[in-house]
Amino acid sequence: MTLRKQYNQYVKEWMKENPPFAGPYDSECLSFKQFKENMIGGAQPKVLVKLNDSNELLLDEMFVQIYGKEEDHKYKLVRERDNLTKTSRDVKWLEFDENGRYKADFKDIAVGRSLIMSPFGPSFTWQTTLVTEIVEKRHRYIKFKTENSNYELFKIK
């Protein structure tokens, strides 16, 4: 079983023991299925935390195995228009065929490829639209334009 599947199973078990709060008009808590169906999606994965004996918040161990700690991240992506910043442990450049289906992934940027930030899978951190121009490329830094945004990618470690 992959780490992601283990983590998803762990979350399901956790949800059974810790059901979400009832809504303002509900007399009972939502089931896990109802909660998952009605949950508002977001750009960030949900993080499970817990308190240690010193009342400090700690990341869930399974979450750390899959996503890593932020201080372990090696890449930082900044979108120019609003300074949206994303970090990840690794990045890949994806190529798609003429039908828009995944074709291959690469370690290097090229026009026509899309950047995806780890973890790689359904819950990735961020994915850009296709690169239209590489503005600047130097050691540990790339400035590039996509179909709808301008980005800077830094290798921070």
pLDDT one-digit tens code per residue, 9-66: 766 776 666 555 444 434 344 455 544 555 555 444 555 677 778 877 776 776 666 6
> In a 10 Å sphere around its CB, with 0-12 CB exposed, 13-18 middle and 19+ buried, how is residue 7 labelled?
buried
pLDDT of residue 23: 43
pLDDT of 50 reads: 72
Q: Are 7 and 63 spatial neighbours (Cβ–Cβ below 8 Å)?
A: yes
Instruction: List Cβ<8 Å contacts ≥24 apart for 104-109.
Output: 109/134, 109/137, 109/142, 109/144
What's the pLDDT score for residue 53? 82
131, pLDDT greater than 90: yes
Q: Classify the C-alpha dihedral 19-25-28-34 as positive or negative.
A: negative
Give the residue with greater pLDDT, 54 vs 138.
138
Paired residues of 106 in beta bridges:
93
Q: What number is the average pLDDT over the span 88-112?
A: 91
Q: Within 13 Å of residue 121, how many CA atoms lie on the same side as its CB?
A: 10
Q: Which residues contact 146 (CB under 8 A, 6 or more apart)?
A: 114, 128, 129, 130, 131, 132
For all residues of the chain together, what is the average pLDDT?
A: 77
CA 138 and chain centroid, separation: 25
Q: Say yes or no to pLDDT of 137 above 90.
A: yes
Percent of the chain having pLDDT more than 90?
37
Question: pTM of this prediction?
Answer: 0.58
